[in-house]
Structure 1
Amino acid sequence: MTRTVTSSTIRAGVLRALAWWRHGLQQAVPLVLLDREDEAPLRFDANGRPLFDTNDKAWATITIEGLRPVRRRVVYPLAAVGDLRAMVGHRIAELTPFAAEVALFDVQVVECHAESGKVTADVVAVDRRRVQPALDQARDMKIRVKALHLDGRVLRLAREWRPRIGILTPTAALVLVNLLLIGAAIALPLTQKQLRIERLESRLADLRLVAKETLALSTRLDERKAAAGYVTRFRRATANPARALDELSRVLPDHTWATGLTLKDGELSVTGQSGHAAALIAQVEDSSLFHQTRFTSPVTLARDGERERFSLMTTWAGKKR
């Protein structure tokens, strides 16, 4: 079954919500703040003229001289004790000689009978038109009237019957509270989101700082790696004397021995004797460490006539070109 939502349905729902809020606030506000007793009633005559020295008062019970209210006693089920005013309001035209639209009445519980489940109450009523001049005068004098004192009977005014003197009415207060709650309900998620955004922005700023520091460290690391690579490449390209001597002893054949070695500015000079000196140039050049090998003097025979004296020079500082 599909239910159609109309403007009247929404209005009825809003009114129910406002009534619920009003009932809740009325229960929450202490009674002393709503109905404060004064020391003595303020007296008016039947025409609404004040019979007292006019002073501003917050709340007051006023007396109207020469006006007698109608009094009726009614009996209702005990369960209705909380709604007596509403139940009497539906029957006020039957209980009193006043029409519902002009009747001003109060319901005062006299006795509750738990055994019989009944409640007895007195209904005090008066024609609103008879008391309206006094109520208007009280309003003009900024007196907030809460009750009428009529011929020894007290008629408490319902809130909607009390003269309004510019203060915030309960209905307006409920509407204002409702609007404030709606505004708070809307603003709270937005505030929470804003706080979350601020926290995220703070974390993002911290992460950006860490990223910047990490990038700087990475750059310095790359620079150091490049420097270390240059040193490694230089070491690989440049032979040390120990390695040169070791390589020379490896490439010289067994029938050859050196009688003199000189290392200077990347040049290695070797003098000695060999069984076949002419082959030494090729044998030394086979090494990847030596290049540009040449004799520095002619090869001659040794004294024994079997070996040859030689003197050669080779470059050993870098790889063979």
Structure 2
Amino acid sequence: MPAVDQLATSLETLRLRLARTPLPGWGRSMADAALSLLPPPWRRLFRGEARRLFLARGDQALSFTASDANGDQPLGEVPLGDAELLAELHARLAASSVPAWLLLPAAAVLRRRLPLPAAAEPRLRDVLAHELDRQTPFSADQVSFQGRVVSRDAASQQIQAELLVLPRARLEAEMQALGPLAALLEGVDVVEADGRRLGLNLLPAARRETRRDPVRRLNALLAAVAAVALLGTLALTLHNRASALEALRADVEAATAEARQARLARNQLQAKVQAANFLASTRASRPTMLELLDDLTRRIPDDTAIDKLTVNDGKLVLVGQSRAAPALVGLLQDSPLLAEPALSGAVQADPRSGRDRFTLAATVRGQAPEGANDTGR
């Protein structure tokens, strides 16, 4: 079986299974309730113009009935023997887009009810075609037949199907009686004694007149244009949103980069400020080398010669010669710039100069340990 036939069979099976449930009835009830709230013009717009012209042949006349969403409306009768009038009606119906149907009385068709399994419903016409020889005295090429489901029994998985058979001889007689109007028929339906139509089409497919409704074609074209416009609007909206999103992302990235640069500059500025403040506070808390040299010059006596002066990591080291080296410690203890002066090592006499060679160490007040060296001679 081709894939298209398999898909069609699957869809038909699904449709039939759905038809056995209460959902279609609920849907129709809800749709009718919603449509009843609309004004009549809108209601006709949503329901559509399901117009048909039904022809029923009597003994000497042909009656016409117009049917639409509002119901049936008898139009009148035309004598069958008036060929000129039938030709004029043929011309008018040919120019109209309303489909014409022939109504036959229920006595004109042969009807049989058959119990069938529910699985036969998707292929009901094929099943009934095999039942023609047993249920009727006709063969398939002698009749036009249709079938319909009368009832369904979900418990027993059975359906009651009705076979309706119209002999082709009767159909040809009816078509001949219509004269030129027979060529315009799109279907043949059966009407019950109470006026209810069965909703079947017993006219063979090869003889059905297919008309194209210009209004329907225009509506289809307008619907296609509206769909294309809607899709274009959606696509344009999505494009605009995508463009706006990209622009927003670019702005956010630019703002983020600017914020990152500002944060980096702020951190660098804070580091420089902290370093400058540290240097300023360090320099403010310790004496300068000029102040230290001035204080030493005032306190060291003239008979003392300084060979080397070193300030390293807050430590002052003096190396020189003096006639009273131990007295230097007392002189430097009164200095506001030095603390803990003391001789380092033994004092050695120098026979050439007659003085004592000494090494004196002290701590510079307010001096924090640093890695930098300040040296003076």
Q: Please indicate the TM-score interval, normalised by the length of the shorter structure.
A: 0.3 to 0.5
User: What's the TM-score, normalizing by structure 2?
Assistant: 0.39
User: What's the TM-score, normalizing by structure 1?
Assistant: 0.44
Identify the structure with bigger relative contact order (alpha carbons < 8 Å, sequence gap 6+): 1
